[in-house]
């Protein structure tokens, strides 16, 4: 193992001077060695220390994890955070009511006192990253089993994280990179008092909705504003009226200068997950099992949701965030499969594997070290097809698809407390359920979920072998003659987990016999039992795939010394760099690199909620009242494209020019390159961004929230 580690680091250093493309999601502590020279040649005026430093304020101090899956940036010295509208969407929905619908109407706090607390929302700052690979791998050897290796890594990683935390309030983790070949300590500071400051109406912030999602040309003002608060000592604190706006170590100056084609652009953010080193067998599984199950099931569920949302303002608000989240990855999966096929990625991966196999056989030592890698991967992927398919359909149909069943399973702690007759534990579990119920029922429509349940039960039965059917199917077949609608109707009539009043009445007098007789609780537990069995059935293959991937990546680096390697995304801070530019998606078609407000007007469809244009925006357009936010050509730019390498989690990432100034925020990728999480395509891959001047125009001219403009550092 020690030899493998030394080889791995040697290969990284060797590659440092051989960058050929703008592909890559780079670790900030390594950009001095790996990237800075190329970036400066492209137009960057900053040093590596200006971007990442633990000794002085740097760009990293202005970029945060927003919530649990997005990126945001500080744009004032008073803790003002800019992120995407779709990143704030769930919070905005949670703070909305039918009578006071911030999603539909927008919201703007004209003073600090008007800002709305957002319970549960967090903002996380990266304090530092440190390569701890040498310490983690010390003591590992190639004779260890997978479990022994993982236990050693877990133990040493926990020690490192504990030492780094000490008596501080920081959160510390050790994350692995290159499939477990490299390890970094990551130190975070998490703030819990975050407040909603402003957002345009969805007719601007989500203009184009699902039709335009992942598409270019785009005309969406995808932004929202929040503010992070701290205690008077500047440290994280629970919400209190006494808290004050947080003063960051650095905030991004906001540029009004715009951009030109070929201008340097970089993003800093928290990309979630990529699989750039996935083998052909992994791609087959991704396309034909993971993506297939998601596409099939969510398409059915979303049709039911859409019908219910169209019929009720209340349901439309309740399911707005759920639908947006579901649809986003549903469409992404469709586009990914299409892109992987169109770009012939599986065949390209097979060619790499063929080359790898020939390279192994040409050298006895290499063959001894890596000779079982490809055969292990093939056997593991092909051997788990049935159970992996069942696991994915169970998740999509009966765990995430049918809300009532998942909600019911959270009562298992109460069940155990009632069995033990432990009054304290009963009270604790009851209170936990009461809080969960308040959140659940706020955004729940039982009639809608009843229709979804019947459809999901039928879909799972049609796709998955009876061997993996939960026991609830025995009830359906025996008592309801296989009629899924009748079963769902009976469950929704008798279960207290689908009715808020009945649920709270049960919690007032919790009873073990009543809980265990509830049909949703029974069904939910039967789903959980099968889920655990499937996890056990897939576990051995999971281990073999993880172990073989680790060796495959080291072997690839040894085989391809001139190739640019970087770790897959894992939701830790990364930097990507590129340029502003257009692209040619197909023969005879060239897409310009920017869109304007004129395009918004051209897309208007007054009777289609996806393409409604607010009257005030139309008035500003007709008057040409763009103020200082117009481009040099007199137009108001809305969106633009760069070739930065991003993925999910990068949503809300700042787009920064060569001077370290904010010129936009990333919010989407393009349809033609949906395969990008697996294979970066430099001629097609585009990052779709909101022009910061459009953001400022909406805040200023549309909303009149000059108080927000005044606290920013504008560069003209």
Please report the pLDDT score of residue 563 as a whole number.
82
pLDDT above 80 (res 213): yes
Cα separation, 51 vs 658, in Å, equals: 11
CB atoms within 10 A of CB 327: 19
Under 8 Å between Cβ of 417 and 484: no
Q: Which residue has the tokens 């932004």?
A: 223
Q: Active-site residue among 193, 222, 449, 677?
A: 222
Question: 250: Cβ–Cβ under 8 A, 6 or more apart, which residues?
Answer: 57, 58, 59, 61, 62, 74
Q: Is position 83 within any domain? A: no
Q: What are phi and psi of 579, to 5 degrees?
A: -140, 160
pLDDT value of residue 14: 47
Residue whose pair of structure tokens reads 């407390």 in the numeric block: 417
Give yes or no: 531 in active site: no
Q: Which among 327, 391, 406, 651 is annotated as catalytic?
A: 651
Residues 672-709 pLDDT 10s? 999 999 999 888 999 999 999 999 999 999 999 999 99
Q: At what angle do helices 519-559 and 146-165 cross, to 10 degrees?
A: 90
- Mean pLDDT of the 571-593 span: 96
Would you state the pLDDT for residue 523?
98
Q: What is the DSSP string of 561-603?
A: TTS---PPP-SS-EEEEEEB--EEEETTEEE-SEEEHHHHHHH
How much is the pLDDT for 564?
79
Q: Tell me the average pLDDT across 562-587.
A: 94
Catalytic residue from among 86, 219, 250, 593 = 86
Residue 184 pLDDT level (bands cut at 50, 70, 90): very high
Q: Which of 86, 88, 62 is nearest to 73 (CA)?
A: 62
Report if residue 479 sits inside a domain. Answer: yes
Helix (H) or strand (E) holding 27: strand 26-27
Q: What share of the chain has pLDDT > 70, as a percent?
A: 97
Residue 445 resides in a domain: yes
The torsion angles phi and psi of 388, rounded to 5 degrees, stand at: -70, -40
Residue 11 scores a pLDDT above 80? no
Q: How confident is the model at residue 16 (pLDDT cuts 50, 70, 90)?
A: very low
pLDDT band of 10, cuts 50, 70, 90: low
Q: Estimate to the nearest angstrom the gap between the alpha carbon of 210 and the chain centroid.
A: 17
| Confidence (pLDDT) at 7 | 54
- Report the C-alpha gap between 367 and 359 in whole angstroms: 8
Q: Is the pLDDT of residue 12 over 70?
A: no
Residue that has been written with the tokens 């061997």 in this structure? 467
Cα separation, 109 vs 258, in Å, equals: 27
> How high does pLDDT run on average in the chain?
95
Q: pTM, whole model, 2 decimals? A: 0.94
Whether 587 is covered by a domain: the verdict is no
Packing angle of the helix pair 292-311, 320-342 (nearest 10 deg): 140
The neighbouring-strand residues paired with 74 are: 81
Across 249-260, average pLDDT? 97
Residue 223 domain flag: no
Query: pLDDT-derived band of residue 21, with 50, 70 and 90 as boundaries?
Result: very low
The encoded tokens of residue 529 equal 């039992």
Q: Give tens-digit pLDDT for 305-363.
A: 999 999 999 999 999 999 999 999 999 999 999 999 999 999 999 999 999 999 999 99
Strand partners, 199: 107
What gap in Å lies between CA 448 and CA 306, rounded to an integer?
A: 10
pLDDT of residue 690: 98
Q: What is the pLDDT averaged over residues 118-127?
A: 98
Report how far residue 578's alpha carbon sits from residue 563's, in angstroms, rounded to the nearest whole number.
Answer: 18
The secondary structure of 244-275 as a DSSP string is EE---S----EE-S---TT-EEEEEE------
The closest of 619, 594, 625 to 697, measured between CA atoms, is 625
Lookup: tokens for 698? 């909406």
Identify the CA nearest to 255 among candidates 75, 69, 450. 75
Question: What per-residue confidence (pLDDT) applies to 3?
Answer: 56
Q: What number is the average pLDDT over the span 436-442?
A: 96
> pLDDT grade, residue 562 (50/70/90)?
confident
Tokens 């290969």 belong to 11
Q: Is the dihedral of CA 630, 632, 634, 636 positive or negative?
A: negative
Does some domain include residue 321? yes
pLDDT (0 to 100) of residue 9: 52
Specify the pLDDT at position 13: 45
User: Which residue has tokens 């009966």?
Assistant: 398
Q: What is the pLDDT of residues 503-522, one digit of tens each?
A: 999 999 999 999 999 999 99
Domain that residue 539 falls in: 280-547
Domain count, the chain: 1
Assess whether pLDDT exceeds 70 at residue 1: no
User: Is 222 designated active site?
Assistant: yes
CA 680 – CA 277 distance, rounded (Å): 11
The answer to whether residue 220 sits within a structural domain is no
**Does the annotation mark 86 as catalytic?**
yes
Instruction: Decide if 358 is inside a domain.
Output: yes
What phi and psi, each to the nearest 5 degrees, are found at residue 269? -170, -160
**Distance from C-alpha of 39 to C-alpha of 26, rounded to nearest angstrom:** 12
Span 20-32, mean pLDDT?
A: 84
């Amino acid at each position: 193992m020690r030899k493998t580690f030394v080889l791995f680091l040697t290969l990284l250093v060797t590659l440092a001077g051989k960058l050929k493309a703008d592909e890559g999601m780079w670790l900030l502590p390594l950009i001095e060695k790996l990237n800075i020279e190329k970036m400066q040649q492209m137009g960057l005026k900053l040093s590596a220390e200006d971007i990442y430093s633990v000794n002085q304020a740097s760009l990293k101090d202005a970029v945060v994890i927003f919530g649990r899956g997005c990126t945001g940036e500080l744009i004032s010295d008073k803790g003002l955070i800019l992120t995407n509208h779709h990143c704030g969407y769930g919070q905005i929905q949670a703070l909305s009511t039918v009578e006071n619908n911030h999603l539909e109407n927008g919201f703007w706090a004209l003073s600090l006192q008007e800002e709305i607390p957002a319970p549960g929302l967090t903002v996380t700052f990266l304090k530092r990253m440190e390569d701890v690979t040498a310490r983690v791998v010390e003591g590992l050897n190639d004779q260890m089993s997978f479990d022994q290796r993982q236990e050693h890594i877990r133990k040493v990683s926990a020690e490192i994280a504990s030492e780094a935390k000490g008596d501080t309030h920081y959160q510390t983790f050790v994350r692995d990179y290159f499939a477990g070949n490299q390890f970094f300590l990551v130190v975070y500071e998490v703030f819990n008092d975050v407040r909603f400051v402003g957002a345009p109406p969805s007719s601007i912030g989500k203009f184009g909705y699902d039709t335009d999602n992942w598409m270019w040309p785009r005309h969406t003002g995808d932004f929202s504003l929040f503010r992070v608060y701290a205690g008077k000592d500047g440290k994280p604190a629970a919400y209190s009226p006494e808290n004050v706006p947080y003063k960051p170590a650095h905030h991004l100056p906001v540029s009004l200068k715009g951009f030109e084609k070929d201008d340097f652009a970089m993003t800093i953010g928290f990309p979630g997950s990529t699989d750039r080193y996935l083998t052909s067998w992994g791609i087959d599984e991704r396309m034909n099992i993971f993506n297939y199950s998601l596409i099939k099931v969510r398409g059915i569920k979303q049709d039911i949701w859409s019908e219910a949302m169209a019929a009720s303002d209340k349901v439309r608000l309740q399911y707005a965030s759920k639908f947006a989240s579901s649809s986003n990855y549903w469409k992404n999966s469709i586009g990914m499969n299409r892109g992987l096929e169109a770009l012939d990625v599986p065949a390209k991966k097979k060619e790499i594997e063929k080359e790898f196999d020939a390279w192994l056989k040409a050298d006895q030592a290499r063959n001894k070290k890596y000779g079982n890698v490809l055969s292990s991967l093939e056997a593991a992927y092909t051997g788990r097809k049935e159970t992996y398919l069942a696991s994915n359909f169970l998740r999509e149909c009966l765990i995430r698809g049918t809300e009532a069943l998942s909600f019911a399973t959270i009562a298992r702690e109460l069940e155990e407390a009632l069995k033990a007759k432990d009054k304290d534990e009963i009270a604790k579990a009851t209170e936990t359920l009461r809080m969960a119920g308040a959140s659940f029922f706020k955004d729940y429509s039982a009639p809608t979920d009843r229709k979804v349940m019947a459809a999901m039960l039928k879909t799972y039965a049609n796709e998955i072998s009876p061997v993996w059917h939960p026991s609830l199917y025995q009830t359906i077949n025996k008592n309801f003659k296989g009629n899924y609608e009748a079963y769902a109707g009976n469950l929704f009539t008798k279960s207290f987990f689908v009715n808020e009043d009945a649920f709270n009445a049960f919690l007032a007098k919790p009873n073990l016999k009543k809980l265990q007789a509830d049909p949703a609780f029974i069904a939910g537990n039967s789903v959980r039992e099968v889920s655990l069995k499937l996890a056990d059935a897939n576990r051995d293959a999971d281990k073999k795939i993880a172990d073989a991937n680790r060796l495959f990546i080291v072997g690839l680096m040894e085989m391809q010394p001139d190739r640019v390697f970087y770790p897959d995304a894992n939701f830790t801070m990364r930097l990507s760099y590129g340029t502003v530019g257009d692209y040619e998606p197909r023969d005879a078609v060239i897409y310009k690199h920017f869109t304007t407000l004129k395009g918004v007007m051209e897309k208007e469809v007054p009777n289609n909620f996806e393409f409604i244009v607010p009257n005030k925006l139309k008035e500003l357009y007709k008057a040409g009242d763009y103020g200082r936010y117009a481009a040099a050509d007199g137009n108001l730019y809305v969106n633009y494209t760069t070739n930065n390498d991003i993925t999910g989690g990068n949503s809300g990432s700042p787009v920064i020019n060569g001077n370290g100034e904010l010129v936009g925020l990333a919010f989407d990728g393009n349809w033609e390159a949906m395969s990008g999480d697996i294979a970066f395509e430099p001629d097609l891959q585009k990052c779709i961004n909101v022009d910061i001047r459009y953001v400022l125009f909406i805040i200023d001219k549309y909303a009149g929230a000059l108080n927000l403009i005044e606290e920013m550092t504008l560069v003209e």
